[in-house]
A and B are shown apart, each in its own frame.
Chain A
Amino acid sequence: MGKSVNDAIELFGYAEHTHETVWVGSKGGLRLRSDQPIGRVEMTAKSHARTRSTWYGVETHDFSNVVVADIDKDIRQRLAWQERKIDMPAGRYDTVFPSGSVADFYVYMMWVAGARAAFEGQSVFSKQGGGTRVGEKLSNVGLQLFSDPNNAQLNGAAFVYSTASTPFTSVFDNGQLQKRCDWIKDGVLESLVQTRASAKMTSLAYTPLGNNLIMSVDGATGSTLDLVKQVKNGLLVTTLWYIRMVDPNSLLLTGLTRDGVYFVKDGEVQGVTNNFRWNDSPVSALSRISAAGANEWTQPREWAGDMANMSAPALVIKDFNMSTVSPGN
């Protein structure tokens, strides 16, 4: 912090570590326990009399992977990019999303991925004329989205526990084995979130929602900045914020960009531009992926604390709909 103060960079942030242990027992003899340590650091940095602002987030189990020098390097790079300001109009842009904003976008998709709602005609995953869209190709790339309690980095509970029944979980499923569930496999919708009752109703496999979510694109490597190099004319966002539903049928979402949008030309950041209100659907965006980076452990910003165990790649989404200019910082 001393170094930042010397360079007139103001730091605002939050660090948290939580350890949760869950015990489940039944009269019939079930005895299970799960330990889940999780933490995160969020850093907002402002400079030049607070006219420049950026954000960085990192998720952790024990803070051993939190490298302050990396946070410092990233925020200084982004604040430096903000030296040049370029106003851009609303429109559709090829947009680079860091893994954290990909997480914010796709956690929402999982929250409406209940099989029963789809089967009853109430979600983006409902099939016209009845049934669900399971089996339908959703992505133009070899995209994988799954939950796996045995993932080496993002451990999850090995069993299902539910204190109250919801469209996603049932108290009758307490103690069921949590296995790997593929939600999207090779770009095809493979399964929806099930209780045992909804699995019977939809005649699909029982696929309960796990504690973690892993997204990857086959063969994809590199970082967010490597993706920037592949963009001819587009934008780089920092984070998405205030994400809300517009139309459940297409899962059209709206939200804002926050803490820095950058204009990219011929693979290089040219400077900072204005923030936008955006209107787009994570399901539709799956079929407009023009480049992807390596899968990395990441932190959603809006849903930080709601979804702790997620890894995702940075993505370039073609023609992302930045619907209006947002005057906010």
Chain B
Amino acid sequence: MIQAQDLVEKILARASSDECIVIVSDKTQANLRWASSTLTTNGVLQERSVTVIAFIKSKDGMASGGVSRTNVDEGDIDSLLAQAVSSANKQFLQQRPREQLRITHQLPRILN
């Protein structure tokens, strides 16, 4: 498996968005369970989660979009980046409804 820090560098090197953040979490776990004074199960777990967050500038500000996946290798880098960028682009389309949401949130305070 590729080292986490190498994976971070390789993803960032290929990122074309205005900004990009990569978060890799590597987790290992061992566990034991017992019942009626007898060991019943034991487990070993290894997990890697990779998150890519793309940031895209517009005249209204900065949009962000992220994707998290497990089981990532070097061949997945381009599709991860593309998905993060596509998710960030969707934020521009959502800007109008988000504005409306903000106004309704303030209503209870006006009623006070």
Contacts of B37 in A (CB 8 A): 1, 4-5, 9-11
Selected from A15, A28, A172, A175, the residue in CB contact (under 8 A) with B64 is A172
Cβ < 8 Å to B, chain A residues 240-281: none
* Contact residues of A between 264 and 313, Cβ < 8 Å to B: none
Q: Is the pair B105, A120 in contact by a Cβ cutoff of 8 Å?
A: yes
Say yes or no for B109: interface residue by CB 8 A criterion. Answer: yes
Given contacts A14-B31, A120-B106, A174-B53, contact A161 B12 (CB under 8 A): no
Per-position 1/0 for A125-144, Cβ under 8 A of B? 00011100000000000000
Is A12 touching B35 in the complex (CB atoms < 8 A)?
Answer: yes
Cβ of B25 < 8 Å from any Cβ of A?
yes
B22 touches A25 (CB 8 A): yes
* B21 and A25 within 8 A (CB): yes
Interface residues on A, range: 35 or more
A23 x B4 contact (CB < 8 A)? yes
Would you list which residues of chain A between 3 and 58 have a CB under 8 Å from chain B? Answer: 4-5, 9-28, 30-31, 33
Q: Does B20 sit at the interface, judged by CB under 8 A?
A: yes
Q: Chain B contact residues (Cβ within 8 angstroms of A): what range? A: 35 or more
- By the criterion CB–CB under 8 Å, are B112 and A171 in contact? no
- Given the contacts A10-B37, A21-B26, A121 and B108 also touching, CB distance less than 8 Å: yes
Assess the B4–A21 pair: CB atoms within 8 A.
yes
The answer to whether B5 has its CB under 8 Å from any CB of chain A is: yes
Complex Cα distance, B106 from A121, in Å, reads 8
Query: Is A150 interfacial (CB-CB < 8 Å)?
Result: no
Given A17-B30, A24-B22, A174-B53: A12 and B112 interface contact (C-beta under 8 Å): no
A164 to B106 Cα, complex, angstroms: 24
